[in-house]
Amino acid sequence: MSLRQRPVSPPKKDSAVPQQGSVPPAQPKSTNPVWIVLGALGLSALLFLASNSFSLAALLTILLLMHCTQCILVDNGYILNTGTLEEVQLHWNIRVADVSHPELQIRYTPAGSIVVPGLSDAHAHLLEYGASRELALEGTKDIQGMFRAYGKYILANPEIQKNTSTYVLGGGWDHTVWPTTRWPTAADLDSDPVLRGRPIILQSKDCHALWVSGKVIEKSSPFPDVVEGGVIFRDESGHPNGMFLDNAQDIIFQPELTDADLMRRFSIAVRDVVAVGLTSVHDAGLNPMSLKFFAKQAELKKLPIRIYGMTFFDENGEYWGNKTKPIIDAGNGRLNARSVKIFADGALRTSGAALYEPYADDPTTTGAMRITSEVLHHWLPLFLRDGWQVDVFEASLKGINISASRPRLEHAQIITQADRIRLGKLGVIASIQPTHAISDMWYAQDRLGPERIKNLYAFSRLIHFLDFTLPLLGFLLDGKSPHGPGGWFPEERLSRQEALRGMTIDPAYASFTETTLGSLEPGKRADFVILSQDIMTIAADKVLATKVIATVIDGTPVYGQF
C-alpha cells in the first residue's frame, strides 16, 4: 500500500501508461525540453532533462527513499509513472544535466520518511465537526470542566457576552468519562452564572444526543408526548429536562445557519483534516444542508479536499431516488455523492443502539430503532433499484448486483458471529471506526456484559469473512486499555497492512473511486501523504510519534512542505 510495501513497476518503453479508468495527463503544449527534478536517497537534488512526454506543469518527485521504489512522476495532477530512479530515467529518456528550469517544482522527501496514498476517513461529519471545534468540549473531565470551557469561550467573544439571546453552540461532550453516571440536564447549565439564561445547544460526541438549556426548551416548546425513534428525558414533573436523544433532537429549535457559518465550520474541519494526512472524507449525511453546501463549493471549484457525500434520508419525504442523479466527479473530481444515509438506530454510548438482548446495565431496554422495519422494507429496494448505495438488510438485496451497488453497513461495531458470516456471504461492506474503540472500551462492558463485549470491534474476525473494512485513523492505539498495556482484546488487532488498506484502497472501493484513488499507481490521482517515519516497520511504541510532513492532493501540497 505504501510505495515500500507495494512497488509498481513502470510500463515498458513502448507501452502506454495504464490509465486505471482515469483521465490521462494532458499532452505537452510544446516540444521544447523541460527540466524535472529528482532527489535520491537523501542526497542533494539532481537535475534531469526531459526530452519528451511532459507538459510544462510536469513534476518528477522522489517521494520514497527506499530500496525498491524511489520515484513518483506526476503530471497535471496524475501519477504518470513510479519506479526506481534508473527505471524512470530509462523509460522517460531522461539524462542528467546541471541547470534548472523556472517552470519546474522541486520536491524531495527527508531521509527516513515514507509516502503512503492519501488517507481516507470513511465516516465523518465535516460541518458538525467544525462546529464542535468552535467550542470544543471533548476531553472535559466533568460538568464543571465543561462550564469552564464554555465560560471562557463566552468571555472571549464580547458580542456573545453582551447579547444573552445569542445562541451558543458547542459539541464533543461525553458523559461516560465523567465521575457521575447521570445524564446532564438543563438545570446544570442554568446553575452556572455565566451560562444562566442563555440559549445553549450542546451536541454529544457521537451526535446522538443534544443537551440544551432552559431557554432552548422554552423556545422549542411545546413538545409531543412521544417521539418515534427518539427519547425526551423528563424530570419528576414530566417536563423535558434538557436531554434529547436521536430523533428527538429534530424537535429542538435552532437558528438557521448562514453561508458564513457553514464556511467557517468547513474551514476549521479542512484545516484539521489535511493536518492528519486525510485527502478524502466520506461525509455521513447528518443534515441535508451539508451536501448542498459541498455541491455549491464543487461548482465554484473551491473544494480543498475530496468528499464522498451521503444524502440525508427523510422517511417522511417523497421518494427521490429515480429523479435525482448521483454526483460523479464534480469540481474536478473533488465531490462524489451516490449514497443514501439511513439512520437505523441509536448509539451504544447513549444506550440507544438496538440490541438483540437487553442492556446489561439497564435490563429494561434493548435500545431503539429510529426507523421501523416497514419503512426499511419499503424504501431500500427502491434506492437499490435506482442505483444508490445504501445501508442494507438481507431481504433488500434479492436480485441486486452487489459489485455494482456496493451496499454498506455503517457503524458495524457489534455483530454476532452468525451475522458476520452473513455479511461475508452477501458481500456487504462493513464500515467500522476503530478510533471509537478508544472511548467505547471504558464503558462498553457495563453496557454489554462480559460475553457480548467480545463481539464489539471484533476486527480480526470481521476481516476473516469480509473483503473490505473501513477503519478510521485507528492505525495504532496507545496501549492504554481496561485490560492493561497489552491491549483490549489484542487477538482482534489488525495487521499494519490491513489497517493501512482500511484507510486507503478499501474506502476508495467503498466510494466507487478505486480506479483513481487509494494507491500509488500510474493513471491514478496524485494524492499522497509524507510521514516522518516508516510506520510499516518501526517499533510499535514509536508509531504514535509519527508526524505528517506533507499532505498532497492532485500533486499539490495542501499541508506542510517538503
Domain boundary among 219, 251, 283: 251
Place of cell 492519501: 118
Give the lowest-confidence range in 51-55, 304-308, 384-388.
Answer: 51-55
pLDDT value at residue 12: 34
- In angstroms, rounded to a whole number, what is the distance separating the alpha carbons of residues 17 and 54? 13
Give the lowest-confidence range in 29-38, 178-187, 474-483.
Answer: 29-38
Does residue 457 lie within any of the structural domains? Answer: no
Query: What's the Cα-to-Cα distance from 309 to each of 66, 220, 417, 440, 513, rounded to whole Å?
Result: 36, 30, 31, 26, 13
pLDDT value at residue 479: 61
Instruction: Say yes or no: 107 and 137 in one domain.
Output: no
Does residue 199 lie within any of the structural domains? Answer: yes
The whole-number average pLDDT for the span 293-306 is 96
Beta strands 240-246 and 209-212 are: antiparallel
The whole-number average pLDDT for the span 51-75 is 47
Does residue 232 lie within any of the structural domains? Answer: yes
pLDDT value at residue 374: 86
Does residue 302 lie within any of the structural domains? Answer: no
pLDDT value at residue 339: 92
Instruction: Say yes or no: 33 and 149 in one domain.
Output: no
Conformation bin of residue 166: beta by default, left when phi > 0, alpha when psi is -120 to 50: beta
Domain boundary among 196, 223, 251: 251
CA atoms in the 13 A half-sphere facing the CB of 492: 17
Closest CA to 183 of 218, 220, 222, 143: 143
Does residue 157 lie within any of the structural domains? Answer: yes
Please give the model's pTM, rounded to 2 decimal places: 0.77
pLDDT one-digit tens code per residue, 97-113: 433 444 445 567 888 88
Place of cell 460475553: 451
The mean pLDDT value of the chain amounts to 78
Does residue 433 lie within any of the structural domains? Answer: no
- In angstroms, rounded to a whole number, what is the distance separating the alpha carbons of residues 214 and 208? 20
pLDDT value at residue 93: 66
Place of cell 445504501: 390
Does residue 76 lie within any of the structural domains? Answer: yes
Instruction: Say yes or no: 219 and 141 in one domain.
Output: yes
Place of cell 546541471: 98
Instruction: Say yes or no: 92 and 142 in one domain.
Output: no
Could you say which DSSP state residue 50 is in? Answer: E
The whole-number average pLDDT for the span 314-321 is 88
Domain boundary among 228, 251, 274: 251
Instruction: Say yes or no: 107 and 195 in one domain.
Output: no
Predicted confidence band of residue 90 (pLDDT cuts 50, 70, 90):
confident
Beta strands 209-212 and 200-204 are: antiparallel
Instruction: State which H helix or E strand residue 47 sits in.
Output: strand 46-50
pLDDT at residue 30 above 70?
no
Please count the structural domains in the chain.
2
In sequence order, the β-bridge partners of residue 129 are none
Show the domain range for 191: 124-251
Instruction: Say yes or no: 103 and 139 in one domain.
Output: no
Q: C-alpha cell of 325?
A: 442523479
- In angstroms, rounded to a whole number, what is the distance separating the alpha carbons of residues 172 and 130? 11
- In angstroms, rounded to a whole number, what is the distance separating the alpha carbons of residues 320 and 290? 18
Closest CA to 53 of 32, 39, 22: 32
- In angstroms, rounded to a whole number, what is the distance separating the alpha carbons of residues 404 and 355? 30
pLDDT value at residue 15: 29
Place of cell 513502470: 10
Which of residues 294 and 34 earns the better pLDDT score?
294
pLDDT value at residue 94: 55
Q: Which long-range contacts (CB under 8 A, 24 or more apart) does 197-201 make?
A: 197/164, 198/154, 198/164, 198/165, 198/166, 198/168, 199/165, 199/166, 199/167, 199/168, 200/150, 200/167, 200/168, 200/169, 200/170, 201/167, 201/168, 201/169, 201/170, 201/252, 201/254
Does residue 213 lie within any of the structural domains? Answer: yes
Instruction: Say yes or no: 128 and 243 in one domain.
Output: yes
Classify the C-alpha dihedral 239-244-247-252 as positive or negative: positive
pLDDT value at residue 317: 86
Predicted confidence band of residue 279 (pLDDT cuts 50, 70, 90):
very high
Instruction: Say yes or no: 134 and 98 in one domain.
Output: no
Query: What would the DSSP string read from start to end of 326-347?
Result: PEEEHHHHTEEEEEEE---B--
Instruction: Say yes or no: 157 and 96 in one domain.
Output: no
Q: C-alpha cell of 539?
A: 517499533
Instruction: Say yes or no: 85 and 193 in one domain.
Output: no
Predicted confidence band of residue 244 (pLDDT cuts 50, 70, 90):
very high
CATH number at residue 160: 3.10.310.70
Helix-, strand-, coil-residue percentages of the chain, each rounded to 5: 30, 20, 50
pLDDT at residue 337 above 90?
yes
- In angstroms, rounded to a whole number, what is the distance separating the alpha carbons of residues 531 and 543? 11
pLDDT at residue 334 above 70?
yes
Instruction: Say yes or no: 79 and 9 in one domain.
Output: yes
Helix (H, G, I), strand (E, B) or coil at 116: strand
pLDDT value at residue 465: 54
The whole-number average pLDDT for the span 440-460 is 86
Instruction: Say yes or no: 146 and 60 in one domain.
Output: no
